[in-house]
Amino acid sequence: MPRPTPASPTAAIVGTGFIGPVHLEALRRLAIPVRGILGSTPEKSTAAARSHGLAVGYASFAEILADPNVQVLHLTSPNRLHHRQVIDALAAGKHVICEKPLGMTSAETAELVAAAAANPHLICAVNYNIRFYPCMLHARSLIQRWELGEVFHLHGSYEQDWLLLPTDFNWRVLAEEGGELRAVGDVGTHWLDLAQFVTGLEVEEVCADLRTVHPVRQRPAQGSVETFSGKKGAPPPAVKPVAITTDDYASILLRFKGGARGCVTVSQVTAGRKNCVRLEVAGSKQALAWNSERPDELWLGQRGAPNQLMLRDPSMLSADVAAYSNYPAGHAEGFPDGFKQLYRAIYADISAGRRSAEPLYATFADGHRELLLCEAIARSHRTGAWVKVGS
């Protein structure tokens, strides 16, 4: 497949927190030019540009939109800003790669799907990076080739511990900043996207049980801590308790179109689980399982033969998957590599001037579907009943 070159379109990044520099590092590995970065204040923009060796620390979002040297925007800003920023970016003729969730509500994301459709010359993607672990792309290929047979059921989890303590505080815990669902919206949607992408199945109905483990958290003097930081040493001094309504934990039963069943557990309060994604799929011929903490291993379960543990090896991956695995077997490819491979696919379409017929990356339509899922999950929890997605 075509690879981006130094002549590729130039990008800019919105957001200086944990994930913005992850985007930057992946783009640099692909030799995609990045002109500048925008923080929440001009001072943060200037400091981030200096720290990361970028030419421009933008003073405002309007300044990025007006920059003729920038063709692609990577939006890693807080969730509540995504909708307006995407609308304005498309109006300015910029390609958009938006962190999830695409919006705060399905009404917002439906508007963004329509805006993307009205600008077919612009590539619009949502940053679901876990799709691009080579073992997950290979698992998808196995299912497409019917090597698992009919999918009976699937299950898994996404667990973290960075919000384990009541003194752990980040803007994501506030519903007005991140949305009604937090653990589900923040990381659970990654699992839901991955499960549907790998299996080709679509969730049609959910039954959810959510829990806010810490209904009160202590907000630190500086207002927040960066994602995944603040775990060592004494917690920052608290200035006041803050009531929390967003979920720390969720358990969700799933019904898929066609009859398959599933379940997922999501937690940001599981001690020792730093960023653990697990997926297991049971088919009529064999099963498979994967754990992001051992990203180069794909377990294949057999009924009448020994089980297999496949180690990622480009020479043994499906032909269409091998292009997204760059290191020899035994040289682990993990979290940052998934971002690189995701952007390789997106920028190939940007360079080609059109979206692939069936892109591997998540589109705005996929991002909209995740918001419909989140809203169904929230309704199910409130009512204690099964809820159809999109109803």
In words, the CATH class of domain 133-326+369-383 is alpha beta
Give the Cα separation of 209 and 147 in Å (integer): 34
Which residues is 299 bridged to in the sheet?
Answer: 289, 309
Torsion of CA 29, 68, 95, 7, to 10 degrees: -40
Q: What pLDDT is attached to residue 2?
A: 40
* pLDDT tier, 42 (very low <50, low <70, confident <90, very high otherwise): very high
pLDDT tens column, 321-379: 999 999 999 999 999 999 999 999 999 999 999 999 999 999 999 999 999 999 999 99
Given the candidates 3.30.1180.20, 3.40.50.970, 3.40.630.10, 3.40.50.720, the CATH classification of the domain at 11-129 is 3.40.50.720
Q: Token digits for 74? A: 């990577």
Contact 98, 128 (CB under 8 A): no
* Amino acid of residue 326: N
Contact 352, 344 (CB under 8 A): no
* Amino acid of residue 304: G
Share of the chain above pLDDT 90, in %: 89
Q: What pLDDT is attached to residue 222?
A: 64
* pLDDT tier, 4 (very low <50, low <70, confident <90, very high otherwise): very low
* Amino acid of residue 170: N
pLDDT tens column, 181-218: 999 999 999 999 999 999 999 999 999 999 999 999 99
Domain positions in the chain = 11-129, 133-326+369-383
Give the Cα separation of 175 and 378 in Å (integer): 13
pLDDT tens column, 210-249: 999 999 999 987 656 555 555 565 566 667 999 999 999 9
> Which helix (H) or strand (E) element contains residue 64?
helix 61-65
Q: Token digits for 130? A: 């876990």
* Amino acid of residue 256: F
Q: What pLDDT is attached to residue 220?
A: 84
